[in-house]
Amino acid sequence: MPFPYKKVVVIGATSGIGEAFANRLIDDGTFVIAVGRRKENLEALVQKHGHDKCQAVPFDITKLESIPHFATNIVNTHPDVDCIILNSGIQRKTDFSDPDSIDLDSVQLEVNTNYTAHLALTKAFLPFLQKKSTETALVYITSNLALVPILRCSNYCASKAALHQWILCLREQLKKTKVKVIEIFPPAVQTELHDEKHQPDIKNGRQIGMPLDEFTEEAYSGLVSGKDQIPVGMSKRAFDGFEVKRQEAFAHMLKIMGSGP
């Protein structure tokens, strides 16, 4: 089964999961608009595949005030866009048992990158997506740590948990529209997220987790099969173990409040 969308904006496409998705989509015949901070990485992606298969758009999503203009330029240039993949994320150590080690600017940057920018991007693209007559999609890459936190990166876990809770509400709010809301829950994956240059307390971080190619194929299989929630690898344990029950409680709450099925 092919990927159902034909022109996709991949935000956070300069490395890791975002770059892997961009490559996989292009190989499957989907045109990709690759977005990220590192222009040289985006240009390498275009050189690899060709201008007829992808376009590079350098942009820093933490510049929240620039997001509306960025989104307008994208949809004006590509009015046939039908899917946005929001993948950008950073992870930093936050150990509040040592308060002097906490840099609040770094904490805020992590929240902006992992959470607030996703809300701003959604707000900016939604009017365009809602006006289309065919099905469109917003795809969010969260984390197994949105469901089960770990100690060393507590703020990262909290930012992903916040995004997950918000996505549940967004999906419900958009259920009567043609905008599909999809969430992918990666486990730890072997990407630069854990590199020592970003997190000096981690050594050989690129060896942590599931191989990137294995993750990409499993997640992509979930996307093409039409699932709107895709736990991958060890994320399935938490999702199947208790997240399903929690979402049943969410549905019950909606029903009590008169907004559910």
Instruction: Name the residue among 252, 192, 183 with its Cα closest to residue 222.
Output: 183
pLDDT tens digits for range 10-38 = 999 999 999 999 999 999 999 999 999 99
pLDDT tens digits for range 117-129 = 999 999 999 999 9
Spatial contact of 5 and 27, defined as CB atoms under 8 Å apart: no
Position 108 pLDDT exceeds 90: yes
How many helices (DSSP H) and strands (DSSP E) are in the chain?
9, 7
Give the separation between CA 228 and CA 122, rounded to whole angstroms: 17
What's the token pair of residue 157? Answer: 């876990």
* CATH code assigned to 7-236: 3.40.50.720
Tell whether pTM > 0.85. Answer: yes
Domain ranges of the chain: 7-236
DSSP-derived letter for residue 152 is T
